[in-house]
């Protein structure tokens, strides 16, 4: 039996001798590589926190003490140490979540997959414990240097610093990266503090030399110590920004020296006041491909060969590729087009644009709110910014979209990747709210491309809009062959025509294929069916209203919340125009969806051609309309 197999919870970990902990760390890393190679997942972040997580569970008593991970993709080791060893269905239906999950374990508190929130959670938990007289319970927030670029983290630090007696431990996991290398002034600050750590290592070497060659070693040690003292006095009259805020600072500490981390955590625990433990870790530690020049690819990885590090599944062309290529083409033609990303340059497809036009790309870190308002300023200054984020992260910048971009009629284009059901990353990553929240923004234009060709065409349309925000949204995964329209009316495409349709099926974005399948089945029942792709869904096109007026029934299919989405907007537009047809709307129900594949989720919620036609047929057969 391996050491890892003996651990069913933190108490078992505490019983492992100190001299066996390095062996345990090696077993955990091997387990992670072997397991994630079969399922895909967040490998790099977890390889970097093995010793840190071991130390946390040896010092604190989870679940009585609370751990809040920011973000939760670094919680795989925590899962293992709390007895969850079956990774065979990681991120799949019925298997472990890729993030902490209250449904899985009492050791998981915050299902945290949106960054920069842990400090606010932890402050609230710590204050609640204090008010309830639970002085013997500790709260620990683990936040990466990447997540520390988010504004919400600094709002929390500002409040934490005003409560000097709050028993709260902050673990700053500093690996110089979020998805990609961390940027900004805080990153530079931490880099200088890491320099102090490097000098400490060199000084230790000098001490060892001193023992064997006193003259050389003594001079070297004194010289290096003087350099370190001079640098520290010049740059840090104290230990930096955290101490200035009144937060006790410990570090920097080698995050792969388990005993050093344990010692620091025990000190922090015993202080009984806000204390930050700065640990330096290496993302991908222990597996060479994961900390090579291609390390960014190992943040989240698909199935791969653990021997070679090469992927088993070579993906075809994905939706993001279409956007990426067209951005480069636009960059050649228009020098006013610039791009903004929130620490996701590669995942959202801006890396090629950045290589060609580095001065025209702004990575603001995990700061979506800042990104949108900054984009509004860039627009006012005469540029056309393209803000590329995952659809789920637009939620975080809604106020800025509404009050900065839209209110001021700024020409900003938002490109939302991973829109609709994404599946395996779970509830927080499904991009299912974007069209609903955008639907209430005055003046906003929103396009949902049905294929790669439309991504390119509609991106070009979007950057021509200079007096309002525009949005392009598309799903995750491979992009299929183009779906060719029979004709175009205004901005919308007629995908399947019928002169006097019984049913008008409106397919939105990636749901156009489903709409065509629905039409084929309904036609077999003897109904005349017309299928349209509105392309630009907000505002509702007058041409769509005219087509609806000619049909007996209208069916809207969208990969977004069924409430306040495209279907709702169509119902309202049809009613205002006096359209008599009944309208059936199909989309995502208002609930959080458990992790599973995209196909499984769509089947579960009835967003498939078979489910839609089965629901429609009884009403269409009787001629009963349902609005």
Instruction: Kindly report the CATH number assigned to the domain that includes residue 9.
Output: 3.40.50.970
Task: Assess if residue 482 is contained within a domain.
Answer: no
Q: How confident is the model at residue 137 (pLDDT cuts 50, 70, 90)?
A: very high
Task: Assess if residue 415 is contained within a domain.
Answer: yes
Tens of pLDDT along 103-124?
A: 999 999 998 778 899 999 999 9
Q: Return the pLDDT at 88.
A: 93
Mean pLDDT of 315-341: 95
Query: What percentage of the chain has pLDDT greater than the value 70?
Result: 86
Residues 3, 15 contacting (CB under 8 angstroms): no
pLDDT beyond 70 at 624: no
Task: Assess if residue 609 is contained within a domain.
Answer: yes
Q: Return the pLDDT at 522.
A: 96
Same domain, 459 and 500: no
Same domain, 550 and 463: no
Question: Which among 266, 298, 330 is the end of a domain?
Answer: 298
What sign for the dihedral angle of Cα 514, 518, 524, 526? negative
More confident residue, 193 or 465: 465
Task: Assess if residue 564 is contained within a domain.
Answer: yes
Task: Assess if residue 375 is contained within a domain.
Answer: yes
Task: Assess if residue 334 is contained within a domain.
Answer: yes
Same domain, 491 and 469: no
Tens of pLDDT along 535-570?
A: 999 999 999 999 999 999 999 999 999 999 999 999
- Indicate the number of domains in the chain: 3
Please tell me the least confidently modeled range out of 32-41, 67-76, 201-210, 466-475. Answer: 201-210
Same domain, 435 and 541: no
Same domain, 66 and 213: yes
Residues annotated catalytic, as ranges = 283, 368, 396
Question: Which among 251, 269, 298 is the end of a domain?
Answer: 298
Same domain, 604 and 526: yes
The encoded tokens of residue 196 equal 């102090």
Q: Look up the domain containing 228 and give its range.
A: 4-298
The CATH number for 523's domain is: 3.40.50.920
Same domain, 258 and 325: no
Residues 55, 265 contacting (CB under 8 angstroms): yes
In this structure, the chain runs to a length of 627
Task: Assess if residue 314 is contained within a domain.
Answer: no
Query: What percentage of the chain has pLDDT greater than the value 90?
Result: 72
pTM of the model: 0.84
Same domain, 33 and 170: yes
Question: Residues 6 or more apart from 97 whose CB is under 8 A from it?
Answer: 91, 103, 104, 111, 426, 595
Q: Return the pLDDT at 284.
A: 84
pLDDT beyond 90 at 318: yes
Burial-class residue 61 by CB neighbours within 10 Å (0-12, 13-18, 19+): middle
Question: Residues 6 or more apart from 235 whose CB is under 8 A from it?
Answer: 192
Question: Which residues are annotated as part of the binding site for thiamine diphosphate?
Answer: 73, 113-115, 146-147, 175, 287, 368
pLDDT beyond 50 at 627: no
Mean pLDDT of 396-408: 97
More confident residue, 188 or 88: 88
Tens of pLDDT along 144-161?
A: 888 888 889 999 999 999
pLDDT beyond 50 at 235: no
Mean pLDDT of the chain: 88
More confident residue, 291 or 201: 291
Same domain, 499 and 601: yes
Burial-class residue 359 by CB neighbours within 10 Å (0-12, 13-18, 19+): exposed
Same domain, 224 and 91: yes
pLDDT beyond 80 at 576: yes
Tens of pLDDT along 202-220?
A: 445 455 555 555 555 556 5
**Largest Cα–Cα separation, the chain:** 100
Within 238-367, where are the H helices? 241-244, 258-271, 319-333, 351-356
Task: Assess if residue 288 is contained within a domain.
Answer: yes
Question: Which among 438, 473, 508 is the end of a domain?
Answer: 473
Same domain, 261 and 156: yes
Same domain, 19 and 99: yes
Tens of pLDDT along 358-367?
A: 999 999 999 9
Mean pLDDT of 84-98: 92
More confident residue, 501 or 71: 501
């Amino acid at each position: 039996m391996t050491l890892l197999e003996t651990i069913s919870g933190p108490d078992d970990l505490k019983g492992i001798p100190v001299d066996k902990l390095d062996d345990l760390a090696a077993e955990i890393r091997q387990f992670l590589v072997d397991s994630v190679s079969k399922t895909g997942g967040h490998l790099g972040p977890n390889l970097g926190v093995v010793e840190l997580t071991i130390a946390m569970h040896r010092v604190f008593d989870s679940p009585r003490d609370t751990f809040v991970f920011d973000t939760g993709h670094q919680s795989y080791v925590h899962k293992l140490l709390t007895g969850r060893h079956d990774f065979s269905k990681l991120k799949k239906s019925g298997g472990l979540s890729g993030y902490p999950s209250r449904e899985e374990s009492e050791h998981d508190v915050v299902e945290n997959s949106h960054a920069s929130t842990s400090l606010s959670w932890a402050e609230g938990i710590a204050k609640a414990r204090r008010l309830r007289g639970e002085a013997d319970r500790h709260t620990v927030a683990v936040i990466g240097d990447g997540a520390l670029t988010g504004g919400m983290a600094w709002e929390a630090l500002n409040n934490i610093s005003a409560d000097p007696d709050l028993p709260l431990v902050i673990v700053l996991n500093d690996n110089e990266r979020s998805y990609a290398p961390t940027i900004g002034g805080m990153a530079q600050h931490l880099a200088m503090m890491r320099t102090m750590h490097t000098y400490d290592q060199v000084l230790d070497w000098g001490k060892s030399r001193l023992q064997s060659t006193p003259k050389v070693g003594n001079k070297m040690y004194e010289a290096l110590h003087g350099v370190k003292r001079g640098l520290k006095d010049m740059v840090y009259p104290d230990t930096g920004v955290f101490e200035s805020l009144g937060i006790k600072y410990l570090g920097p500490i080698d995050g792969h020296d388990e005993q050093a981390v344990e010692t620091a955590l025990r000190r922090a625990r015993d202080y009984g006041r806000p204390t930050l433990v700065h640990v330096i870790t290496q993302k991908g530690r222990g597996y060479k491909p994961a900390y090579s020049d291609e390390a960014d690819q190992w943040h989240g990885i698909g199935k791969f060969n653990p021997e070679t590090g090469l992927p088993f599944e070579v993906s075809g062309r994905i939706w993001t590729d279409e956007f990426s290529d067209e951005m480069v083409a636009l960059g050649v033609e228009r020098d006013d087009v610039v791009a903004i990303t929130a620490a996701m340059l590669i995942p959202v497809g801006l890396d090629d644009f950045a290589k060609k036009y580095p001065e025209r790309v702004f990575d603001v870190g995990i700061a979506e709110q800042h990104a949108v308002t900054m984009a509004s300023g860039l627009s006012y200054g005469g540029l056309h910014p393209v803000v590329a984020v995952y659809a789920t992260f637009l939620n975080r910048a809604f106020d800025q979209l509404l009050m900065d971009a839209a209110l001021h009629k700024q020409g900003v284009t938002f490109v939302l990747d991973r829109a609709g059901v994404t599946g395996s990353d779970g509830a927080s990553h499904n991009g299912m709210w974007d069209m609903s929240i955008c639907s209430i923004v005055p003046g906003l234009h929103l396009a949902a491309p049905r294929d790669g060709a439309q991504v390119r065409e509609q991106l070009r349309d979007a950057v021509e809009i200079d007096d309002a925000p525009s949005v392009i949204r598309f799903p995750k995964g491979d992009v299929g062959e183009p779906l060719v329209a029979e004709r175009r009316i205004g901005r919308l495409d007629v995908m399947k025509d019928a002169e006097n349709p019984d049913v008008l099926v409106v397919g939105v974005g990636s749901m156009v294929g489903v709409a065509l399948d629905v039409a084929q089945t309904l036609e077999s029942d003897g109904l005349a069916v017309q299928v349209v792709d509105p392309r630009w869904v907000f505002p509702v096109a007058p041409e769509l209203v005219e087509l609806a007026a000619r049909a007996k029934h209208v069916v809207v299919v969208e990969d977004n919340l069924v409430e306040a989405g495209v279907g709702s907007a169509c119902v309202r537009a049809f009613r205002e125009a006096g359209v008599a047809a009944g309208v059936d709307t199909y989309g995502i129900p208002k609930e959080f969806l458990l992790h599973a594949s995209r196909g499984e989720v769509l089947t579960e919620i009835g967003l498939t051609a078979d489910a839609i036609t089965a629901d429609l047929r009884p009403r269409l057969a009787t001629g009963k309309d349902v609005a």
